[in-house]
Amino acid sequence: MKPVLRNQALRAALHAPSVWFTLLLCCCASAFARADNIASAFEQANKLYEQGQFPEAAAAYQKIIGNGQVSSALYFNLGNALFKSGQIGRAILNYRLAEQLAPRDPDIRANLRFARNQVEGAGTRPAGRWRRWTGRLTLDRRARRSLAVRLLRAGLLLPIRHPVGHCRRPRSGGPLRAVG
């Protein structure tokens, strides 16, 4: 009998379906555990907020963000906790981040407007009509409208540049004049 080398045994083990199934099961279980851990951390931060412990709630929300989790609800709640703890500038920043993820959410827009009004010197001029109109659009809708405007502009300008029925006629005379 031929002795089995270590590399051959390892290759044989890696080709076994049970090994791959076990690895897949471990990966899925860890992903579910991580998701459950994040959800429980979010709930814990919400409980801190409800108890009036705003700086601690803000720290808990920031810890979740530090772990790579991002959502409009997370930034919104962090903004609320920071606002309640007196950090209005950081609250506005987080409301704006939430607004980027959910531009049509009326609660985010209302809290952002309220926080901006609390800042001294908030008497800056309001955004223009164009800024207000485009601020409500998602990036996808902005791209679609931009494409539509460009196609419309090209369709309207094309007949002006090349009128129908108008073609250039060769000039009489010139270097290729027929000698006769």
Q: What is the pTM of this model?
A: 0.53
Distance CA 166, CA 103 (A): 49
Neighbours of 88 (CB within 10 A): 16
CB 41 within 8 A of CB 63: yes
pLDDT tens-digit profile of 54-108? 999 999 999 999 988 899 999 999 999 999 999 999 999 999 999 999 999 999 9
pLDDT tens-digit profile of 64-73? 999 888 999 9
Neighbour-count burial for 9-40, b at 16+ CB within 10 Å, e otherwise:
eeeeeeeeeeeeeeeeeeeeeeeeeeeeeeee
Q: Which domains does the chain have, with CATH numbers?
A: 6-122 (1.25.40.10), 129-159 (no CATH)
